[in-house]
């Protein structure tokens, strides 16, 4: 079993930056992808970005491309989401997710492809 713990959320003004962290514990991460999703009140959960663990290839939603960057620290089993030039529409609860590395992986933007989810961290961007 893998536990995911996010941290780094908070309140920031538009144009500001935040860095979220997602630490995986329980066992060494052996999945294909670690992803970030977000959900705003009254809206469906949406894909933000993901990183392929073996190659460090990254994937981003169009809405965050050029503003958000995903990176990882293999030794610490931790993934980071660096968010810059934040906008009020980025306000949401942010969740990290990981798959279990079994079978054929789904596209990293597909939430059903992930087996483990963190509890979420709130990001609020004020005008």
pLDDT in tens, 13-39: 999 999 999 999 876 677 899 999 999
Q: If we measure between CA atoms, which residue out of 35, 2, 32, 41 comes closest to residue 20?
A: 35
Q: Tell me what pLDDT residue 47 has.
A: 98
pLDDT digits (tens, 9 = 90+) for 83-113: 999 999 999 999 999 999 898 989 999 999 9
Beta-carbon contacts of residue 26 (< 8 Å; ≥ 6 apart): 1, 2, 3
Read off the tokens for 8: 């780094």
**Edge-to-edge order in the sheet of strand 78-83:** 3-7, 18-25, 78-83, 68-73
Question: What are the backbone angles phi and psi of residue 101, rounded to the nearest 5°?
Answer: 75, 15
Task: Output the furthest CA–CA distance in the chain (Å, rounded).
Answer: 44
pLDDT digits (tens, 9 = 90+) for 49-77: 999 999 999 999 999 999 999 999 988 99
In angstroms, rounded to a whole number, what is the distance separating the alpha carbons of residues 93 and 22?
13
In angstroms, rounded to a whole number, what is the distance separating the alpha carbons of residues 81 and 72?
9
């Amino acid at each position: 079993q893998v536990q995911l713990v996010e941290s780094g959320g908070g309140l920031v003004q538009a144009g500001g930056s935040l860095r979220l962290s997602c630490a995986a514990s329980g066992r060494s991460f052996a999945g294909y992808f670690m992803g970030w999703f977000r959900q705003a009140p009254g809206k469906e959960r949406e894909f933000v970005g993901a990183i392929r663990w073996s190659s460090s290839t990254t994937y981003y939603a169009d809405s965050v491309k050029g503003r958000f960057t995903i990176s990882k620290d293999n030794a610490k089993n931790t993934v980071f989401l660096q968010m810059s030039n934040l906008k009020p529409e980025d306000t949401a609860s942010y969740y990290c997710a990981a798959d279990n590395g079994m079978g054929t992986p789904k596209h990293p933007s597909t939430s059903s492809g992930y087996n483990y989810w963190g509890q979420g961290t709130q990001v609020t961007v004020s005008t």
